[in-house]
Structure formats: structure tokens, C-alpha cells
């Protein structure tokens, strides 16, 4: 089995760069941070790119690096979280487009979740990974993924009910 | 409300316009090169620090370890790096590191002057206190020895030998300093039979017994500089200590 070369890295980034950036943006909440984290993750992958077998798909490997980076950076760098938490709660107001309002609130609440819980929801519902694949990307058990996803959704539902109640939803 | 499908839609809306920069690959490679340069620079600094830590005690060991020190191990950075520079405190060493005691300075350049090994004024060189002024590169001699005369310089431009001798009731000592290229301890040792292996302050040395009941030790103090110390009588028992006191 051969090893991957530089050219295959370029092809991989060209093909999967957008998807990885979107995943990173959803997981860390800010576009600038997402680009920086994606570059860091790709650089880490590039360091060991030659060791990857040509037959295997490198995306789970890169995604795992990305998820670990997002989680560890969120834990370490609390400023990001504090900025989000420091925002004043938006005053619910009647909107002609309730669906748009709902999704905006959903994303706000998603950002307020813990990094690990947020990563589980992004991987499960954005990347459409199975519970086993999500567990592999996060380096935890399937049971943990199930519980984190369940708690994350419950928290979102609870907060949505509280925020959207004045709108009559 | 199906929260999961709403969440999917919300995520899709959120990142619909997000796309990777066209220069993403170049940025990643640039970042990789910068990281490599940083790692190499850090490794270089670490290597230079280690080399400096190793060189300082080595330098100190050349000029500062007291005579008669029975330690024969090579100085290590972990211990000696923080040791204060020790002065050559042994009696018999010169008051200043001038050329007075340097190898080669013992040659009688001034016919009327007393050479350094000539024994003009009685002193107590070395811990034992041999009579006569020692060359600066010899810091220890056993007690009761007196110089047999000025240090003699022989040889040619390629290989020069400075030989100094002391004699007394307790025996005699001869120290020869050889300077020249292509030296090895085997060239220096003039004893019959197979020599034994030992070390002088961590430097490998050869030792052997002479037919005249003397014992001889030879080593290369540094490339191109060899030392042979021969001792007989009671001084033979102090051979290693004398050898350790030779600092060419």
C-alpha cells in the first residue's frame, strides 16, 4: 500500500475544504476562528500526510483533529465563550417570519452549549455521521454520544420554548 | 416542531455562504514551513545551550581544577556548570598565568637566567613540597624532590619535547611534554610489554612498568600534545597524582 503525496493533499483540500470549514464554523461559532482552526487542523494533518495509506479516506482523520482542536481551544480560550455569553439577551419581538426567527434563536442557543455537546450536535445533524462515527471522531463511547446529543437537544428545546413563548409559538 | 430538522435547516442557513479561501492550501503549507523553522530554531538554541553548558566546565577543568584532585572523571555539565571557577590553589603553581610557566618557556632562552625548573629559590611546590620552582603546567610533585636541572627542550620543528626531572631520597620523577602532530599514547610510552589502560582526569591513558623499577604513564592531553610521566621509588606510588597535576 502506497503513501499519500503532496498532490493528494492539495486535491483533498480542494474537494473537502468548504465542508470542513462549515463544520468548523458551526462548531466554534465564529467564521474567523473557524478559518484559523481549519488551517491549524490541516497543517497538523499535512505533517503526517505521508504516513496515511492511499486506500483510506483521510477525512475522518482530519475531522477528528478539527473536533479536538475546537474542543480544546474552547476550553482553553474562554474569551470566545464569554463574548457569546456576555451578549444581552435579545428581546423577543413579533416577527413576520417565524421560521427565520426560530432558526436564528436555534443557532444562538447552539453556540451557548458546551463545546463537546455542540460538536456532537454538529457532527450528528450537520455532518450526518452515525453515532459510532461521531463517537470515533470525538474519541468517546457511543453511549456518551447518545447522552450528549439527547441532553443538547433537550437544552435547545427548553431554551427555545422559553425564548419563543412570548411570540406565541 | 421537529427540532432536529429545524436544527439542520438552521445550520445549513448559517454556513450557506461559507467557503474555504482559494489560498487555503498555500496558507496551510506556509504555516507548516513557519512551524518547521520555529522547531529548527528552537532545536538550534537548545543544542547551543547544551554545547555551552558542556564547554564551560571543560574550559574550567583545563585551568581551574586544583592540583592533587584525586577525581579522574571527566567533568560533566550537570555538576560543574555551576561550580565557581577554582584557582590553581596548589602550591608550586605560578602566581600569574604568564608565560613563565608555559611549556616551552622552560627552555633556557637567557643563558644567565635561572630556568623555571632550575630550583633557584626553595619553595614548596605541590602538596608534598618538592624543592624548586615548578613550571606552571606542573602543579604537583611529592615531597623531598629537587630539580635535576633546567627543563631540556629537544626535537625539531615538527615534534618538540620538553623534559623536566626531579630527584630525591624518595625516588625520582621525570615529566616529558611532547608537542607535534600524529601523536598517540603508544608513541609516548617507552615500557616493555603490554601497557595497561587507565585514565587521567577522564582522558584515556596507558600505563606500564619500566625495567628500572620505574612506572610510566602517557596520555594525550589534547590533540598534538602528549604527556609522559615517569616515577620511581616512593614517588611511583604518587604517579597518578603527579599525572593529574600536569596541565599543559
Question: A116-119: long-range contacts at Cβ-Cβ below 8 A with a sequence spacing of 24 or more?
Answer: A116/A71, A116/A148, A117/A148, A117/A151, A117/A152, A117/A155, A118/A26, A118/A27, A118/A29, A118/A152, A119/A27, A119/A67, A119/A70, A119/A71
Report CA-CA distances (Å) from A149 to A113, A146, B172.
11, 5, 92
Looking at domain A93-169, its CATH architecture is: Orthogonal Bundle (1.10)
DSSP B121: S
Set of cell numbers at residue B33: 514551513
Q: Which cell numbers hold the place of A35?
A: 478559518
Q: What is the pLDDT of residues B151-174, one digit of tens each?
A: 888 888 788 888 999 988 878 999
Give the alpha-carbon dihedral of A27, A30, A34, A36, to 10 degrees. Answer: -140
Q: Is the pLDDT of residue B68 over 60?
A: no
Which residues does chain B have within 8 Å of residue A43's beta carbon, measured at their own beta carbons?
A: 28, 31-32, 35
Contact A160 B3 (CB under 8 A): yes
Q: How many CB pairs (< 8 A) connect A and B?
A: 82
ipTM of the complex: 0.78
Query: Higher model confidence: residue B8 or residue A165?
Result: B8
CB of B200 closer than 8 Å to CB of B244: yes
Query: Among A56-65, B70-79, B177-186, B228-237, where is mean pLDDT lowest?
Result: B70-79
User: pLDDT tens-digit profile of B6-59?
Assistant: 889 889 988 888 888 888 999 999 999 999 999 999 999 999 999 988 888 788
User: What is the rounded distance in angstroms from the CA atom of residue B138 to the CA atom of residue B144?
Assistant: 16
- How far is residue A110's CA from residue B109's CA, in Å, rounded to a whole number? 93
Supply the CATH classification number for the domain B77-244.
3.40.1000
| Whether the predicted pLDDT of B114 surpasses 70 | no
Domain boundaries, chain B: 77-244
Determine whether the interchain pair A25/B28 forms a contact, defined as Cβ–Cβ distance below 8 Å. Answer: no
Cβ-Cβ contacts under 8 Å for A98 (sequence gap 6 or more): A167, A169
Residues of A in contact with B25 (CB under 8 A): 9-10, 13-14
Query: Which residues belong to CATH 1.10.1740 in chain A?
Result: 1-87
Q: Hey, what long-range contacts does A129-138 have (CB within 8 A, 24 or more apart)?
A: A133/A60, A136/A60, A136/A64, A137/A60, A137/A63, A137/A64, A137/A67, A138/A67
pLDDT digits (tens, 9 = 90+) for A48-107: 998 888 888 899 999 999 999 988 887 776 655 555 555 544 555 545 566 667 788 888
Q: Where in chain A is the domain with CATH 1.10.10.10?
A: 93-169
CATH code reported for the domain at A1-87: 1.10.1740
Amino acid at each position: 500500500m502506497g503513501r499519500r503525496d503532496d498532490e493528494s493533499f492539495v486535491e483533498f483540500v480542494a474537494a473537502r475544504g468548504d465542508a470542513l470549514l462549515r463544520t468548523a464554523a458551526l462548531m466554534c461559532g465564529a467564521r474567523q476562528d473557524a478559518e484559523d482552526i481549519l488551517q491549524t487542523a490541516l497543517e497538523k494533518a499535512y505533517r503526517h500526510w505521508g504516513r496515511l495509506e492511499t486506500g483510506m479516506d483521510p477525512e475522518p482523520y482530519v475531522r477528528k483533529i478539527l473536533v479536538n482542536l475546537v474542543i480544546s481551544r474552547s476550553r482553553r480560550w474562554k474569551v470566545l465563550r464569554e463574548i457569546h455569553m456576555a451578549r444581552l439577551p435579545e428581546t423577543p419581538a413579533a416577527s413576520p417570519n417565524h421560521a427565520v426567527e426560530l432558526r436564528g434563536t436555534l443557532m444562538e442557543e447552539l453556540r451557548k452549549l458546551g463545546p463537546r455537546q455542540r460538536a456532537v450536535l454538529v457532527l450528528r445533524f450537520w455532518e450526518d455521521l452515525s453515532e459510532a462515527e461521531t463517537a470515533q471522531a470525538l474519541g468517546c463511547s457511543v453511549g456518551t454520544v447518545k447522552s450528549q446529543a439527547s441532553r443538547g437537544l433537550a437544552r435547545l428545546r427548553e431554551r427555545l420554548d422559553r425564548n419563543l413563548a412570548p411570540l406565541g409559538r | 416542531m421537529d427540532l432536529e430538522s429545524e436544527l439542520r435547516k438552521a445550520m445549513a442557513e448559517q454556513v450557506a455562504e461559507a467557503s474555504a479561501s482559494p489560498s487555503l492550501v498555500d496558507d496551510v503549507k506556509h504555516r507548516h514551513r513557519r512551524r518547521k523553522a520555529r522547531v529548527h530554531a528552537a532545536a538550534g538554541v537548545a543544542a547551543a545551550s547544551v554545547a555551552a553548558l558542556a564547554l564551560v566546565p571543560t574550559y574550567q577543568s583545563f585551568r581551574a581544577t586544583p592540583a592533587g584532585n584525586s577525581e579522574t572523571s571527566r567533568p560533566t555539565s550537570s555538576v560543574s556548570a555551576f561550580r565557581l571557577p577554582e584557582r590553581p590553589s596548589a602550591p608550586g603553581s605560578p602566581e600569574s598565568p604568564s608565560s613563565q610557566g608555559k611549556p616551552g618557556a622552560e627552555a633556557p632562552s637567557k643563558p644567565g637566567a635561572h630556568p623555571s625548573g632550575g630550583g633557584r629559590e626553595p619553595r614548596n611546590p605541590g602538596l608534598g613540597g618538592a624543592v624548586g620552582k615548578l613550571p606552571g603546567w606542573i602543579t604537583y610533585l611529592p615531597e623531598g624532590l629537587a630539580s635535576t636541572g633546567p627543563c631540556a627542550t629537544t626535537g625539531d620543528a615538527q615534534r618538540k619535547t620538553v623534559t623536566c626531572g626531579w630527584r630525591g631520597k624518595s625516588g625520582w620523577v621525570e615529566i616529558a611534554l611532547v608537542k607535534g602532530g600524529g601523536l598517540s599514547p603508544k608513541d609516548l610510552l617507552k615500557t616493555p610489554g603490554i601497557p595497561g589502560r587507565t585514565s587521567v582526569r577522564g582522558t584515556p591513558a596507558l600505563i606500564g612498568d619500566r625495567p628500572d623499577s620505574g612506572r610510566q604513564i602517557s596520555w594525550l592531553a589534547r590533540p598534538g600534545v602528549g604527556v609522559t610521566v615517569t616515577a620511581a621509588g616512593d614517588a611511583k606510588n604518587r604517579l597518578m597524582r603527579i599525572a593529574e597535576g600536569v596541565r599543559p
